[in-house]
Structure 1
Amino acid sequence: MIFQMIHPFLLAQRHTTVLKGFVKKELYGRYAGSYAGVFWIVLEPLANIAVFHFIFSYVFRVRFDAAVSGTESFTLYFLCGYFPWLIFSDAVVRSASSVVGNAGLVTKVIFPVELLPLSSVLTPFLTHGAGFFLYLLYLVAKGSAGPSWLYLPLIVATHFVLCCGMAFLLSALVVFVRDILQSLGILMMVWFYASPVLYPLSFVPEPIRSWLWANPMTYALTCFRDVLLNGSFHWTIFALFAMKATVLYALGSWFFTRSKRAFADVL
């Protein structure tokens, strides 16, 4: 079981050149034909940050209790959850069609199919990760950096494992049930509002709050905000986040490995 879980990463290490090729294809495919090219990776998040800052600071003027949310600025609070959510959402949506979208490749070329969902996860970590890095620079400029930031790589790595789990599970399921692609937009919309991206958990009534803790993204966003905004790190919350991410990854990698032999027949 453990070997099966680490097998996709071993394949990625063994076929680094192929994986880089898939990632480059997705990156350049996204910005093909544009004059700015890959510079949009920086320009787009900068525009988002500027727009959100203007709307929530000067139009709606939303303010939070710093003792509860870690900051009075709704913009800072929102962006701290928005970029991790964007990475997760984009990874899920892109990976869902990663196998069926490369049907000709899967059926005619012998290569590790696991690289397709992996590349679909790495791409949003590069694109939206650039926006998250700009957000971190802004926090540093405000003097908000602290010792708790040392835990950030641990949280990002766990977030990556969670995204990989969803990627393997969905990319394999879509091969057999194409309706998932049609319903994915609705699913991600519901999932967005069921995750504390726009609101602190303290705003949610207690009976409903317990249901939100069943969502692994609730743990992810809480960990990011604790470390970046509250200057703290709660091992219990992180341990539950890591457990949910590992279980989902184990399920996704197991299902992908068991079903990939049938991909060529179904596609």
Structure 2
Amino acid sequence: MAAHASVSSKILSTHLRLVLACLCLTLVAGCSSTKSNVDPTAGWSAERLYSQARSEMSSGNWSEARKNLEALEARYPFGIYAQQSLIDQAYINWKDEEPEQAQATIDRFMQQYPNHPGTDYMLYLKGMISFTPPSAILSGFTRQDPSERDPKGLRQSYEAFNELIRRYPDSRYTPDARLRAAWLVNTIAENEVHIAEYYYKRGAYVAATNRAQTVVTDFEGAPIAEKALYLMMLSYDKLNLPKLRDDAKRVLDSNFPNSKYYEQGLDEPSSAWNPINWF
């Protein structure tokens, strides 16, 4: 009987030690979890949060910089640091290849602070977002002509740069915006000609003439207007409209004497240049 009691006591003691051990592990895990959930920036001033964010930006640590700026904006929604936070968040999102987030941040900034001194920069950044999307990096290797890409982003970029030029002619960002806007005009016009040529080669001659006419009327001075006029001449000929064909030829010969397209046709010679690298 005594032996049985001794064994029971030992079993109870072992169970007690296991329970205590499990309890200790639970407490340690709980403490660790609590520590990991503690925000290291709790209690920081707006100035300190912004300083830390700028430091992370300098190191290219976009994720940490974004966290500090978002915390700053949430805790101190009023004042110059909150305003600057939005400007920097837009830049970070652009650099971190998050164009949609960058665009949303810019729109929010311009809605909240329409007369902010940094508006010219935000317009410039808005133009840059769609001027050099992440996919443009690959064009340096693929040699894809930017005018062959979806023109929506090109048009958005042009509109932003054009608004900057119109509203802030003396801005430090305007000279570069003018260069980019001029390139975009030519590129958008080239896109229209690509589409017109696509229609022509598939026998949609009316659609081809409409697209080519848009280039001639809306993009005056664009070099690609030469090809647009040649396409119009060919399309009118296919439509059996000799008067319109001759009118297009007359305008082509007047503006581009001895046009190269008479000899080479529509197919352009291959080229290794890539205008995206001009900037």
| TM-score, length basis structure 2 | 0.26
Could you say which structure has the larger radius of gyration? 2
Relative CO higher for 1 or 2, CA cutoff 8 Å, sep ≥ 6? 1
